[in-house]
Amino acid sequence: MQQALSSASSIREAPSLVPRRLRLPFEILLVTLAGALALTVNISHPPLVDWDEATYAEVAHEALHSHRIFDLTWNGAPYVKKPPLLFWMVTASFRILGESEVSARLPSVIAGIGTLVLMYLIAAPVIGRFGGLLAGLLPLGFYFFIARGGRECATDAPLLFFSTLAMYALTRAPGRRLWLGVSGAACGLAILSKGLAGVLPMIVAAGALVFIPGFSSIGMGGLIWMVGGAALVAGPWCLYEALFNYPAFLTNYLGYETLRRVTTRLEDDQLGADFALVTFGSEIKHLWPLLLPAAALALASVRKGLLAALRQIDSSIWLWLWWLIVTLAAACAVQTRLPWYILPALIPTALLAAAVPACALRGGRVRTISGVAALAALVLIGLHAPRRWRTINHAAQRQRRLSMPSYVLGMKARAAEAANPGGELFFAGPPMPTLVYYSRMRCNFVETSELAHVELVGAASAPAKIRSHDAVLLDASGKAQVIGNLDHEWHWTTDGASTAPPTGATARLHAAE
């Protein structure tokens, strides 16, 4: 156990058929290719999912056409609920590649692949190249990493990338103080990605300064470097919003989206305090075979002296453990129960999980009990991987099917407006971001009773009856017509059938785009 968990210089690497000078690029290339294959599955398929994907794409769409990247809007109204970095990335993608599902999701895909590469770079110096390769591949078995951390247009992907970049820079900081500035700048970009969650690497750094001997050299001056780097990157946007979008910035972003999400159960009061732990356990339960080599290593360490073995553990591994504790504790502390809040904790989990078989298979030997157990664990995880992948992809497809009704309704409104331009769209129900994005129109969301009494035109040209979830188009001539009803579109998702493409005028319009 002492040799297995000691510093990188004491961990012998497994033999490889790849020449030494090509080994590092080959492993990074393998991680990149695996990430690209996993994160690009069906990214061209519509629709963008309610709520987040369609909301963020619409904000980027309006920024692209208004040429105002600081004063963001959604459905024509000011949007200050989220920091701007993802919207800027998607706007740039739209400008370069044109608007499509691929260009909306591509920034997240790139960020997800970058996170995997950073994990390899963090792990390889500590547990060897084989361990680094495992660390870069293990997140591909986590549903929330695939969905929110790389495949969907969501703020979680850049948050994860820049948080991991901050931790990578932190691991290099004890030798070179400049890396602390890089780590702080990465924290600033993480803050611009998802707000308060971006400060977690700084909390990890502060704890490492106190609890982990290998990082005590950072000192208070090093923390000031980090805080200063974060302030220089994220401060200008915060100052701009505070000056020019007051009080919306204060009430919506700082008040509702930050403080209330931390202190209040906004989504579901029925979820218990253990929700985050249960979700986390569900995400990592497929890694249970790693308990076999972990138990073998623990048994060997007890025989040789537990305290001595603990002292030999590399400080970076202690940092990964502290990183896991901080991120998982933050997910548990936040009162708003959203399952993907455990996503930042999955990165250090993958690093620690990769360390177990890498240490057990030191020197490429499987003759020891721990080596045999590690090999058996990897085989079991590999055999379970296809089933895990089917589960992940099925869940992702189901999320898109749930948004298909509002997508079809939006495309119908878009086709009707294209035939008679200059119309205005009304929807009798709650806001539906997918409807807004695909209709390419500003949508008025109202109650059924309100819509029935809106002076669309005269009584003779108004719809005979307006029901809940009706979409009504008021064309330029003043004539109102019911485009469709959201409830009637649910046949797209019946019986768990795969997403069917739209037909007729809707299909032709979408193909023309």
Q: What is the 3-state secondary structure (H, E, C) of 45-101?
A: CCCCCCCHHHHHHHHHHHHHHHCCCCCCEECCEECCCCCCHHHHHHHHHHHHHCCCH
Report how many helices (DSSP H) and strands (DSSP E) the chain contains, helices first. Answer: 20, 6
Residue 372: exposure state from Cβ atoms within 10 A (0-12, 13-18, ≥19): middle
Summarize pLDDT for 455-496 with one digit per residue, the tens: 554 444 556 677 888 898 887 777 788 888 888 887 654 444
Confidence of residue 422 (pLDDT cuts 50, 70, 90): confident
Given this model, what pLDDT does residue 381 score? 95
Q: Is residue 391 part of a domain?
A: no
Q: Is residue 395 part of a domain?
A: no
Q: Tell whether 293 and 145 lie within a shared domain.
A: yes
Residue 298 has pLDDT above 90, yes or no: no
Q: Tell whether 410 and 357 lie within a shared domain.
A: no
Given this model, what pLDDT does residue 462 score? 56
Q: Is residue 392 part of a domain?
A: no
Confidence of residue 3 (pLDDT cuts 50, 70, 90): very low
Rounded-to-integer distance, Cα 192 and Cα 343, Å: 17
Q: Rounded to 5 degrees, what are φ and ψ at 458? A: -95, 170
Q: Tell whether 93 and 220 lie within a shared domain.
A: yes
Confidence of residue 116 (pLDDT cuts 50, 70, 90): very high
Given this model, what pLDDT does residue 456 score? 52
Neighbouring C-alpha atoms within 13 Å toward the C-beta of 339: 12
Rounded-to-integer distance, Cα 453 and Cα 41, Å: 46
DSSP structural state of residue 259: I
Given this model, what pLDDT does residue 215 score? 85
Q: How far is the CA of 159 from the CAs of 70, 240, 267, in angstroms?
A: 19, 21, 21
Q: Rounded to 5 degrees, what are φ and ψ at 211? A: -100, -25
Q: Tell whether 412 and 318 lie within a shared domain.
A: no
Helix, strand or coil for residue 489?
helix
More confident site: 334 or 138: 138
Q: Is residue 389 part of a domain?
A: no
Helix, strand or coil for residue 10?
helix
Residue 142 has pLDDT above 90, yes or no: yes
DSSP structural state of residue 472: E
Highest mean pLDDT among 2-16, 26-40, 364-378, 419-433 belongs to 26-40
Domain boundary among the residues 337, 365, 393 is at: 365
Alpha carbon 136 to chain centroid distance? Answer: 16
Summarize pLDDT for 369-398 with one digit per residue, the tens: 888 999 999 999 999 999 999 999 998 888
Q: What is the mean pLDDT of residues 134-157?
A: 95
Rounded-to-integer distance, Cα 129 and Cα 16, Å: 10
Rounded-to-integer distance, Cα 513 and Cα 47, Å: 14
More confident site: 501 or 388: 388
Domain boundary among the residues 365, 390, 422 is at: 365
Q: Tell whether 91 and 210 lie within a shared domain.
A: yes
Given this model, what pLDDT does residue 493 score? 47
Given this model, what pLDDT does residue 314 score? 87
Residue 15 has pLDDT above 60, yes or no: no
Q: Tell whether 93 and 210 lie within a shared domain.
A: yes
Residue 265 has pLDDT above 90, yes or no: no
Given this model, what pLDDT does residue 384 score? 93
Residue 44 has pLDDT above 90, yes or no: yes
Structural domain of residue 459, as residue ranges? 403-512
Rounded-to-integer distance, Cα 272 and Cα 270, Å: 6
Q: Strands (DSSP E) along 449-502, which ranges?
A: 470-474, 480-485
Q: Tell whether 255 and 330 lie within a shared domain.
A: yes
Rounded-to-integer distance, Cα 286 and Cα 279, Å: 13
Given this model, what pLDDT does residue 482 score? 86
HEC states along 353-418? Answer: HHHHHHHHCHHHCCCCHHHHHHHHHHHHHHHHHHHHHHHHHHHHHHHHHHHHHHHHHHHHHHHHHH
Q: What is the mean pLDDT of residues 342-361?
A: 95
Q: Tell whether 301 and 407 lie within a shared domain.
A: no
Q: Tell whether 306 and 179 lie within a shared domain.
A: yes
Q: Domain count of the chain?
A: 2
Given this model, what pLDDT does residue 464 score? 60
Q: What is the mean pLDDT of residues 258-271?
A: 72
Residue 452 has pLDDT above 90, yes or no: no
Q: What separation, in Å, do the N-terminal and C-terminal C-alpha atoms of the chain show?
A: 60
Q: What is the mean pLDDT of residues 158-179?
A: 89
Confidence of residue 259 (pLDDT cuts 50, 70, 90): confident
Q: Tell whether 148 and 295 lie within a shared domain.
A: yes
Q: Tell whether 346 and 408 lie within a shared domain.
A: no
Cβ pair 160, 111 in contact under 8 A: yes
Q: What is the mean pLDDT of residues 447-451?
A: 73
Neighbours of 273 (CB within 10 A): 10
Q: Is residue 232 part of a domain?
A: yes
Q: Is residue 15 part of a domain?
A: yes
Q: What is the mean pLDDT of residues 129-151?
A: 94
Interaxial angle between packed helices 101-137 and 315-333, expressed in degrees from 0 to 180 and rounded to the nearest 10: 130
Given this model, what pLDDT does residue 269 score? 58
Confidence of residue 347 (pLDDT cuts 50, 70, 90): very high
Confidence of residue 266 (pLDDT cuts 50, 70, 90): low
More confident site: 261 or 425: 425
Q: Rounded to 5 degrees, what are φ and ψ at 77? A: -105, 150
Amino acid at 135: A
Confidence of residue 312 (pLDDT cuts 50, 70, 90): confident
Its sign, for the CA torsion 349, 350, 355, 357, is positive
Residue 8 has pLDDT above 60, yes or no: no
Q: What is the mean pLDDT of residues 177-201?
A: 93
Percent of the chain with pLDDT over 70: 85
Cβ pair 101, 510 in contact under 8 A: no
Instruction: Report the mean per-residue pLDDT for the chain.
Output: 85
Given this model, what pLDDT does residue 111 score? 97
Summarize pLDDT for 79-94 with one digit per residue, the tens: 988 999 999 999 999 9
Rounded-to-integer distance, Cα 497 and Cα 510, Å: 21
Flag whether the pTM goes above 0.85. yes
Q: Tell whether 142 and 190 lie within a shared domain.
A: yes
Q: Is residue 373 part of a domain?
A: no
Residue 437: exposure state from Cβ atoms within 10 A (0-12, 13-18, ≥19): buried
Q: What is the mean pLDDT of residues 17-39?
A: 79
Q: Which own/partner pairs from 449-458 qualify as long-range (CB within 8 Å, at least 24 positions apart)? A: 451/426, 454/426, 456/480
Q: Is residue 374 part of a domain?
A: no
Given this model, what pLDDT does residue 458 score? 45
